[in-house]
Amino acid sequence: MRRFVGIAALFSISATSAVARSPAPNQRAVFEPVVRAVAQSLQVDPDMAAAIVSQESAWRPTIVSPKGATGLMQLMPSLAAHYQMHNINDPVENIIVGLYHFKYLMGRYKNYELALAAYNAGEPAVDRYGGIPPYRETMNYVQHIMSRAVGSTPPTATQNEMGSNSLPAEHVPAVTPYNADTALDLSSINGSDTHIAGL
């Protein structure tokens, strides 16, 4: 079982109290280093990770969508329950779980566009259409993130098919099963030997 416990206690950000006082400010300066460190630890492209957060929440850690998606990575309560999150509102835990889930999707689809589409519209929609679902929101979502992350052009009809536009093997992160004995090293963020259990 995937369990993310006590992340906030193990990793502190000096601006956390300022985040709590503001309803939904843009906190890119505070959280982008965390996003990039988590992405690197999970072998997810840091530029892609930052582009996802920009698109999902515009770096506002307390934002909640009308559908109930929460935080920087806009996690749905059902996904939080699946990963047994301790606190969906904790920005660092939200980042870790969101990027862990994206890593899982990359391992499954081995394709940025399909992984992004599944993050936005869900795996069943990508599987049903055999590619990026023909939803305006999802198509725009994929296009915007790809242009921010890698300066790519919008996916074409041929790129929408599964198996096309795949990544070279060295760019596809391996998805390891959750193991409580593994840890995510974020010492580069706060200069200590902090490890976050759960990944």
- Which residues are annotated as catalytic? 56
Specify whether the CB–CB gap between 196 and 10 falls below 8 A: yes
Q: How far apart are CA 186 and CA 191, in angstroms?
A: 8
Tokens at 105, concatenated: 């999707």
In three-state secondary structure terms, 181 is coil
Where are the strands (E) in the chain, listed by range?
Answer: 183-185, 195-197
CA 151 – CA 14 distance, rounded (Å): 33
- What gap in Å lies between CA 137 and CA 128, rounded to an integer? 17
Q: What is the tally of helices (H) and strands (E) in the chain?
A: 11, 2
Q: Provide CB contacts within 8 A for 40, sequence distance 6+.
A: 46
Place of tokens 């795996």: 123
